[in-house]
Amino acid sequence: MELNGLTALVTGGAAGIGAGIAERLAAEGMHVITADLDERSGSIMAERIGGSFLRTDLANPADVRAAVDAAGPVAVLVNNAGGIEEPCFPAAQPAKWEQTLDLNLRAVMLATQQVLAPMRERGGGAIINIASTAGLGTAVHDSPEYAVAKAPGDRRTGVTAGRPRSRGRGRSTAPRRRAAR
């Protein structure tokens, strides 16, 4: 896939893994739009890579829709945004669990849903879901709601990319923490 001149939307692209992805896609010639809550870091990142920044609360479905609409024709979607805030289950109230599920599961599904039909009409594209090792296996996790939200990542990517007439590519990756040296 030739990336030069195409648009990428990177959620959670203001810092960390998302910023690294945004930098790499910009280096490939893409116009990169970062969607993130962190307005300061997002604006700095956008300026550094020659892209655009959209202040977006990815736990809010209306914000996800607005970001996809504002991005225009997205050739590459990187669902990177995610995370947790304490307190976690069982100390957290149900509204807190819902926020974690909205950010880590529903935002990914909604952004993917919003870009699929336009990608198909343009002949294809790529969707990359950044998963988490928290969602792999059956080990205990300090934030059960986060682990549960991340668990469908690999499965969701596989079934979406493999749908008939999807004309797209989907990948999921779960970054691992490096051991302290």
User: How does pLDDT run along the chain (181 residues), one tens digit per residue?
Assistant: 788 899 999 999 999 999 999 999 999 999 999 999 999 999 999 999 999 999 999 989 999 999 999 999 999 999 999 888 888 888 889 898 888 888 888 899 999 999 999 999 999 999 999 877 666 666 677 776 677 767 765 555 554 555 444 444 555 555 554 444 4
CATH number at residue 148: 3.40.50.720
- Hey, is 169 helix, strand or coil? strand
Decide if 116 is inside a domain. Answer: yes
Decide if 33 is inside a domain. Answer: yes
The widest CA-to-CA distance across the chain, in whole angstroms, is: 49
Annotated catalytic residue within 146, 148, 156, 160 = 146
Decide if 81 is inside a domain. Answer: yes
Catalytic, 133? Answer no
With contact defined as beta carbons under 8 Å apart, do 34 and 52 qualify? yes
Q: What is the pLDDT of residue 83?
A: 85
- Cα torsion through 111, 112, 118, 124, rounded to 10: 140
- Hey, is 142 helix, strand or coil? coil
Q: How many folded domains does the chain comprise? A: 1
Decide if 1 is inside a domain. Answer: no
The whole-angstrom separation of Cα 87 and Cα 90 is: 8
Which DSSP category does 2 fall into? -
Q: What is the pLDDT of residue 164?
A: 45
Decide if 179 is inside a domain. Answer: no
Decide if 180 is inside a domain. Answer: no
Question: What residues make up the domain containing 36?
Answer: 7-173
